C-alpha cells in the first residue's frame, strides 16, 4: 500500500493505509509486549514475503519460491519500510526517528507475511567488537 495523504472531511480524517497500519500494529502488540519502548538508536530489517500471483505456472512458481524471480510489483520497498516502521511507534520503539539503519527485502512465499528484526545499535556494536571487527562497512 503506497503512502497517500489522509482525506480530511467533516467526520475526521481517513487514509487508505490506516487499515493496513492498524492490522500491523495489532500483530506487533500481540507478539511484543515490553515494559517500555526502546529509547535508543536501532537497526530495523524488514522482510516482506508476498503472495504468489494466482494463475502462475508451476515452473514460474518454483522459480519464485527459490528466489530466482523476485517481486517487482507494488508496494515498493520504501512504502513497506515506512508502514512497518510506523507500526513500531510507541510499542517497540519510542519513535521511528530512532531507526538509523536497516534493510528491506521482498520475496515470494506461499505464506505471505512481514518479518521485522529490530536490534539496538549498541548491541550490534558490542557484537562487532567481540568478533574482532571494527567496521560496519561491508
Q: Tell me, what's the pLDDT at 138?
A: 36
Which cell numbers hold the place of 89? 511507534
Q: Tell me, what's the pLDDT at 36?
A: 87
28 located within any domain = no
Which cell numbers hold the place of 131? 568478533
* Average pLDDT across the chain, whole number: 85
Please check whether residue 1 is in contact with residue 16, taking contact to mean a CB–CB distance below 8 angstroms.
yes
73 located within any domain = yes
Look at residue 2 and tell me whether its pLDDT is greater than 60: no
12 located within any domain = no
Task: Read off the CATH number of the domain in which 69 is found.
Answer: 3.30.1330
Structurally, the chain folds into a number of domains equal to: 1
Look at residue 1 and tell me whether its pLDDT is greater than 70: no
- Taking only the tens place, the pLDDT of each residue in 29-52 is 888 877 889 999 999 999 999 999
CA distances 121 to 101, 108, 124, 136, Å, are: 9, 29, 5, 11
Termini Cα distance of the chain: 31
Domain residue limits at 85? 33-130
Q: Tell me, what's the pLDDT at 130?
A: 58
Q: Tell me, what's the pLDDT at 131?
A: 53
1 located within any domain = no
- Taking only the tens place, the pLDDT of each residue in 62-90 is 999 999 999 999 999 999 999 999 999 99
Q: Tell me, what's the pLDDT at 73?
A: 93
27: left (phi over 0), alpha (psi -120 to 50) or beta: alpha
101 located within any domain = yes
Look at residue 104 and tell me whether its pLDDT is greater than 50: yes
pLDDT greater at residue 90 or residue 16: 90
Q: Is the dihedral of CA 78, 79, 84, 87 positive or negative?
A: positive
114 located within any domain = yes
11 located within any domain = no
pTM of the full predicted structure?
Answer: 0.78
Q: Tell me, what's the pLDDT at 132?
A: 47
Amino acid at each position: 500500500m503506497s503512502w497517500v495523504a489522509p482525506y480530511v472531511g467533516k467526520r475526521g480524517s481517513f487514509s487508505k493505509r490506516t487499515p493496513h497500519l492498524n492490522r500491523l500494529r495489532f500483530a506487533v502488540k500481540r507478539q511484543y509486549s515490553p515494559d517500555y519502548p526502546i529509547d535508543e538508536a536501532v537497526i530495523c530489517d524488514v522482510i516482506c514475503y508476498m503472495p504468489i500471483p494466482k494463475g502462475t505456472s508451476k515452473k514460474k512458481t518454483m522459480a519464485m519460491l527459490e528466489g530466482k524471480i523476485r517481486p517487482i510489483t507494488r508496494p515498493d520497498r520504501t512504502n513497506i519500510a515506512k508502514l512497518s516502521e510506523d507500526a513500531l511507534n510507541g510499542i517497540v520503539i519510542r519513535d521511528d526517528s530512532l531507526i538509523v539503519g536497516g534493510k528491506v527485502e521482498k520475496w515470494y512465499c506461499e505464506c505471505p507475511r512481514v518479518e521485522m528484526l529490530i536490534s539496538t545499535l549498541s548491541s550490534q556494536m558490542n557484537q562487532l567488537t567481540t568478533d574482532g571487527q571494527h567496521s560496519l562497512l561491508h
